Amino acid sequence: MKNKRLGNTNFNISTIGLGGMPLSLSGRPTEAQSIAVIHRALDLGVTLIDTADSYCQDQSDKHHNEELIAKALQQYTGDIRAVTVATKGGLMRPQGAWTRNGNPHHLRKTIRESFEALGGQKPIDLWQYHSPDPSYTIEAALAPAKEAVEAGMIRFVGVSNFSVEQIKRARDTVEIASVQNQYNPWHREPESDGVLEYCEAEKLTFFPWSPLGGSRRVTSLQDIPAIAKLATEKNVSVYCIVLAWLLAKSPCIVPIPGATKISSIEDSVQAIDVQLTDVEVQQISAS
């Protein structure tokens, strides 16, 4: 597995990460199956696992995914010293819905809970403010993260679902290593809203969430002619083609595809070996 630098830090992360969300939502695999998926990802050289306090079924299930990942890492017999776990805080799950909560008191509390859920033995590698809550300023919402960095509870901070202006404000409050916004063949805003260009210029890592379109759209990738054609020509899956396309779009991009089956993460990591020409990248971009 190839590695990339996490933002302006001295940490390396795998070129493709594992998104933990589908392992904890409704219809999730058994715990044993989920741990097997995480272990297989580690075997394949994946050293970045993305999670969140809200990756769960509802509020009663909060921190499920973080606890699952911590358990998988604890049970893994290989070397986990290079593994980076990136979590998030700032979303709630009332009755399974998704709502924002940028209240600094809540964020201070959930950072502590995430720290404990992930084992409580070392700082959270990367904590990300999940989505800006308009009820609170970015400066106020990120103050608890800055405090946690100073207290040794968080190593690095990132933001998610932020505009360029919001990223700049965040960076005035605390050092930012990464940005996580939606980016896939259907959702291309990072190309036009300046976020991707800004991350490149400032050497921030860009994590595209739902890189394959999410559970509702992933099966439709085969219906995009340019993607299907290239998958056939290169004898790989349409998923590999999309991940390779994202990697080719910018050196700052690190896709974090989710997986609920071992075969899925095995397929995803093959994308690093798929070479797309500039023409092929443009063909996908134009589709």
How confident is the model over 55-98, as pLDDT tens digits? Answer: 999 999 999 999 999 999 999 999 999 999 999 999 999 999 99
All structural domains of the chain, each given as residue ranges with its CATH number in brackets, are 3-215+251-261 (3.20.20.100)
Closest Cα to residue 264, out of 279, 243, 285, 281?
Answer: 243
Q: What is the mean pLDDT of residues 105-125?
A: 98
Residues acting as catalytic residues: 55
Exposure string of 170-181, with b = 16+ CB inside 10 Å and e = fewer, is: beebbebbbbbb
How confident is the model over 259-279, as pLDDT tens digits? Answer: 999 999 999 999 999 999 999
User: What is the Cα–Cα distance from 144 to 124, expressed in whole angstroms?
Assistant: 14
The two beta strands, 3-5 and 12-14, are antiparallel
The phi, psi pair for 145, rounded to 5°, reads: -65, -40
